[in-house]
Structure 1
Amino acid sequence: MPEFLRRPFGYEPILKKEDLKKPARKKGERPDNWKGVLVRIWKLVDEQRALLISVLALVVVSSGLSILGPYLVGHIVDNYIVAGQFGGFGKMVAILLTVYLGLSVSMYLQSFWMIGISQQAVYKMRSGLFSHFQRLPVKFFDRRQHGELMSRMTNDIENVSQTLNNSFIQVFSSVLTLVGTVIVMLSLSPLLTLLTMTIIPAMFLAVRWVTRRTGRLYKAQQKAVGELNGMIEESVSGQRIVKAFSQEDRVMEEFIEKGEQLRRTGFWALTYAGFIPKVMNLLNNGAFAIVAGVGGILALRGDGIVTIGTIVIFTEYARQFTRPLNDLANQFNTVLSAIAGAERVFAIMDEPAERDDATEYGDKVLKGDVEFRNVSFGYDVEKSGYTVRDVSFRVRPGEAAAFVGATGAGKTTVMQLLARFYDPDEGQILIDGIPVADLPRKTLRSQMAFVLQDPFLFEASVMENIRYGRLDATDDEVIEAAKQANAHDFIMKLDDGFHTVLSADGGEISQGQKQLLSIARALVADPVLLLLDEATSSIDTVTEMKIQEALERLMEGRTSFIIAHRLNTVRKADLIFVMQDGRLAESGPQQELIESRGLYYQMLKGDEIGGEEDE
């Protein structure tokens, strides 16, 4: 390949000769199933069958009219203009105008209806993907970039939308037009038809050469878009961390690297795809020259094999013959891109949803008696082993249990197992004597509330953010919950009080105020089980006192699990569980653990969880 083609503007080729050979499939690797993808897309489109049949009928009509038009032109030339006979000429011109008017109307209607069909199909695909996101387990999101998932919801589905809007009719119309044109051409002049078709082998080789490259390039392009979106989403979400550690340059370098990958894949995909219209135009002009030259010679001989009207028809049909081939070649690239996007979407939709086979206790009202029996769990047991090992304990209704220990000891994992974000690999978790696997997740989580270290707020009013704990809560209940959470005073100082709309994640209020809103949200939920994950960390002393007072109200009469960060939180707990390397090292009431002078006592002496020694 010449240097100017191999490295234009510094773009290195990303496909080498060996890349075009299909690699051996690795064991367990999911095969590219483009036929299956097309079938699934067709099922979505076919749901509007009546309208689809109408569109296809109009495509047949428009294809027939597009073939009939040039034929009538040739007929008028031979039988009226050349023959000098103008009786009925006006009538034929009127018929010709009617044909082209009908062609325009049918093309408009089929396009209008097809847009409706395609948008409905894409809407169902997008809705299906988003709904499936809600049914996927937490571990699915743990191992994927959120921006990359968002790219599948937006860019990949948009590719499918564009293809259904434009390519579906184009492909079907091109096939019908091509077949009809060939039939009419053969009936008029087999010789000129044969000459016109001499371009097909060259056209086939050109298209094959291009599509072997563009298929892989479009898949690489879609992947590069997803990775770039994921990186952007992470950097925007973590902008405070980026700035705190002065990592702006590194983030920019990573963006440039991923952006360059997308630029290169996009460049070569469009470059190779751009060869098709150029080659087609060249072949089209060649076919036109052949028909005009050979047809002109035959017409001049005057033996009647070819007439001037036939040449007029064939010059138009020569273009009409190559145009659908050109369209099919161009649409093939578009379809490849859409298939690559649809395959990424369907790959997510094929991920196994969070299983919830339990139906027996759908209306169960829990008391809050929680028991772990020899529970072991690992996020990736084969690679990292167990995160918690052989953990056993019991917390009775209304008791508060605090989990303390070093970072990575397994405290948060215990919480996640209790909430059934994950299921244990070994052992059993019971609530009120019922295995949690027998409780529907909705039943369990509807009677459970979380107050996390970093509360999440939505871009909505303060009222709606608190009401998120229970959507049917009245305004009065929301206001009362805010009062109980010590949040009412600062809310009333906001510009619009409870109707103040917070920006994404509540940038206008402090971390402590966010925490108070999170506690108010939990109070509105009125849970049986309460999970507190270091809810008072990184808070100033004055705000901590307000939060602590609100938490005491929240915990009253509820079974509470606390990941302890400060000693004043631990003091209120009925039970202390000391986690060490994934195991339950010590457990019992605080005073007993202090008197035993074990690991918990050593932690207090070292002030590892804050506060002073309490003896």
Structure 2
Amino acid sequence: MARNKYDVDEELQEGFNISHLKRLIRYMKPYKNKVILSVTLMIISSFVSLLGPYLIKIALDDIIPSGNLVNLTILSVIYALSLILVSAFMKQRIITMGKVGQDILVDMRKDLFVNLQTLPFSYYDSRPHGKILVRVVNYINSLSDLLSNGFVNLIADTVTLIITVIFMFVLDYRLALVSLLGLPLLMTVIMSIKKAQRRAHQKLSSKQSNMNAYVHESINGIKVTQSFSREEENMRIYKDVCKQYSDAWMDSVKLNFLVWPSIDIISVASVALIYLFGILVFDSSIKVGVLVAFIGYVWRFWAPITNIGNFYNTIINAMAYLERIFETMDEKPLIHDKVGATILPPIEGHVEFKDVTFMYEKDNPILKNININIQSGESIALVGPTGAGKSTIVSLISRFYDINEGQILIDGIDIRDVTLKSLREQMGIMLQDSFIFSGTIMDNIRYGNLEATDEEVIAAAKVVRAHDFIMEFENGYYTEVNERGSRLSVGQRQLISFARALLADPKILILDEATSSIDTQTELLLQKGLDELLKGRTSFIIAHRLSTIKNSSRIMYIDNGSIVECGTHDELMSLKGHYYNLYQSQYALLNAV
């Protein structure tokens, strides 16, 4: 899962790992009482159902020949009551285990989702989101039948099988031995296709993941697709991806279907042998009732074997999915609280970088020996060419990545010594991607502070000049917006994200290209609100539009991972260096337009 392509199969070359199955069973422990109840009901119902052939044997060999109508009636009532009891127990078992199975799926999906919340940005940048989504939804859903029926049925079928064999040997040990002749042949069939089944199901899970990844990517890029008339080409790719999934599914199904037909053929052959031996070989010593009852037990003998064969298929299928699920669950967050991490106390906003070096890849530093000392309340603007390290600097303050060398201190405290939650709670962050969640505009702004009142939300929106356009919608702040804010313009999404960041009332405010998609008129209005807002707060502002940062306390020009210039706007302009050239080129470009 390391390559970000929908047409590359996920590699997983492990052998069958029994620990995955044990780990799945551990999810059943909180529900062990219900599981035990279901197993008990299944065993009782299995034992009661096995009385049927024996009651028939008694009727055929003893009661009917004697003409005792009363005993035959009693026996019939007992037989009918046994069927009713079996049905009642079966219904209760289905209801109980159905609920248990779904509860376990909820627990697994929660653990998986919780871990996904802790993984770094690099995890999501390096793989298609569709391949992550398929694990949370499809793969876990595929375990439903296994958890609701599989394990309980396996225990019950095993017990049923043992009891059935006992009944068979009690009736006639010779016929019992004949009926067992097909088992070695069945085991040979199962063992011969086991490895092929596993490989087929692993391939199937990869193709399903690929298809989900392409669909997810296509939906996200539908505007680009339609803009460039790529519909036919996309359909060709989708058809190919679906064909690969269909072929993988057919390969796995063909192997699965070798199991239960084999059981059917062998079971029918066993019954034929029973008739052959019972009538031609042992005919003088076997009564009709015994033979009829024995045939009934033979069918009951093969029924749980068929169920166990189906369970085997389910396990092989589930293991392919469990490997992917637990692989994601076991993915370790690169950024986490260290042992003994403390809660960051309320901060003033003094930030210091001491000889900070950072690299995404080994031997390729993005930042080199950065030293910055920012006092509380200062506004620091970061400018420079694309890829110079501006966004990396602000990401390090929030510990989205950990530095390789040096220290980052807030109020003299190393940020690696405090919990992530207490660190990020005291920051307001607006990244370049202005993500809008499905829901109301009010909810989207309140995302920055769940305790905020409606009045506080509206006040934040007014500061960033979002209030006027929000009120133009049909329901104002309670207008529903779609996922990613498709109803909103890029500039409107940025303003709402800005209000969200401001509502957190942070001591450190990080604005990464906060005004890049806002028109000039709105920018002028917004700047007035920002001047008031930034008072008393430490702020880091990344902006390519230099007019928005002229009033910053300091402007730092970042290039090639280093701070090459630092000062106020006037100081840097007087230097006539990198910042001066950047400002002049932008000013000339604006004049030309």
Name the TM-score class by shorter chain.
Answer: over 0.9
Of 301, 306, 325 in structure 2, the residue corresponding to residue 326 of structure 1 is 306
Percent identity reads 34
Q: Which residue is equivalent to 1:205?
A: 188
Q: Which residue is equivalent to 2:336?
A: 355
Q: Which residue is equivalent to 1:20?
A: none
Contact 1:604 1:612 survives alignment (8 Å): no
Q: Which residue is equivalent to 1:458?
A: 437
Q: Which residue is equivalent to 1:306?
A: 286
1:259 and 2:242 aligned: yes
Superposed counterparts of 1:160-179, under 5 Å:
160-179=143-162
Q: Which residue is equivalent to 1:479?
A: 458
Of 183, 193, 197 in structure 1, the residue corresponding to residue 176 of structure 2 is 193
Contact 1:358 1:437 survives alignment (8 Å): no
Q: Which residue is equivalent to 1:543?
A: 522
Of 337, 345, 349 in structure 2, the residue corresponding to residue 368 of structure 1 is 349
Contact 1:453 1:536 survives alignment (8 Å): no
Alpha carbons of structure 1 residues 202 and 161: separation in structure 2 relative to 1, 3 Å: same
Unmatched 5+ stretches in structure 1 = 1-25
Q: Which residue identity does 1:364 align to in structure 2?
A: P
Query: What is the rounded CA distance, in whole Å, between the counterparts of 1:257 and 1:375 in structure 2?
Result: 48
Q: What CA deviation, in whole Å up to 9, does each residue of 1:308-361 have, x standing for no partner?
A: 111101211221112211111111111222222222222222222442137665
Q: What CA deviation, in whole Å up to 9, does each residue of 1:59-108 have, x standing for no partner?
A: 22122112221111122111123454445111111111122222212222
Query: What is the rounded CA distance, in whole Å, between the counterparts of 2:290 and 2:530 in structure 1?
Result: 91
Superposed counterparts of 1:416-435, under 5 Å:
416-435=395-414
Q: Which residue identity does 2:513 align to in structure 1?
A: E
1:574 and 2:553 aligned: yes
Query: What is the rounded CA distance, in whole Å, between the counterparts of 1:464 and 1:609 in structure 2?
Result: 42
Superposed counterparts of 1:448-597, under 5 Å:
448-597=427-576
Query: What is the rounded CA distance, in whole Å, between the counterparts of 1:387 and 1:429 in structure 2?
Result: 16
1:208 Cα offset (Å): 2.1
1:462 Cα offset (Å): 1.4
Q: Secondary structure at the match of 1:187?
A: helix
Q: TM-score, normalised by structure 1?
A: 0.89
Q: Which residue identity does 1:458 align to in structure 2?
A: F
Superposed counterparts of 1:240-255, under 5 Å:
240-244=223-227, 246-255=229-238
Query: What is the rounded CA distance, in whole Å, between the counterparts of 2:503 and 2:129 in structure 1?
Result: 29
Q: Secondary structure at the match of 1:55?
A: helix
Bigger mean CA deviation after superposition, 369-378 or 549-558? 549-558
Q: Which residue is equivalent to 2:424?
A: 445
Q: Number of aligned pairs?
A: 581
1:449 Cα offset (Å): 1.0
1:115 and 2:98 aligned: yes
Q: Secondary structure at the match of 1:293?
A: helix
Q: Secondary structure at the match of 1:264?
A: helix
Contact 1:370 1:396 survives alignment (8 Å): yes
Of 78, 87, 94 in structure 2, the residue corresponding to residue 104 of structure 1 is 87
Superposed counterparts of 1:126-137, under 5 Å:
126-137=109-120
Q: Secondary structure at the match of 2:566?
A: strand
Query: What is the rounded CA distance, in whole Å, between the counterparts of 1:557 and 1:238 in structure 2?
Result: 42
Alpha carbons of structure 1 residues 109 and 310: separation in structure 2 relative to 1, 3 Å: same
1:151 and 2:134 aligned: yes
Query: What is the rounded CA distance, in whole Å, between the counterparts of 1:374 and 1:612 in structure 2?
Result: 40
Alpha carbons of structure 1 residues 126 and 118: separation in structure 2 relative to 1, 3 Å: same
Q: Which residue identity does 1:145 align to in structure 2?
A: P
Q: Secondary structure at the match of 2:52?
A: helix
Unmatched 5+ stretches in structure 2 = 1-10
Query: What is the rounded CA distance, in whole Å, between the counterparts of 1:224 and 1:511 in structure 2?
Result: 35
Bigger mean CA deviation after superposition, 290-299 or 112-121? 290-299
Contact 1:565 1:610 survives alignment (8 Å): no
Query: What is the rounded CA distance, in whole Å, between the counterparts of 2:60 and 2:171 in structure 1?
Result: 15
Query: What is the rounded CA distance, in whole Å, between the counterparts of 1:62 and 1:500 in structure 2?
Result: 57
Q: TM-score, normalised by structure 2?
A: 0.92
1:527 Cα offset (Å): 1.0
Contact 1:358 1:440 survives alignment (8 Å): no
1:278 and 2:261 aligned: yes
Q: Which residue is equivalent to 1:10?
A: none
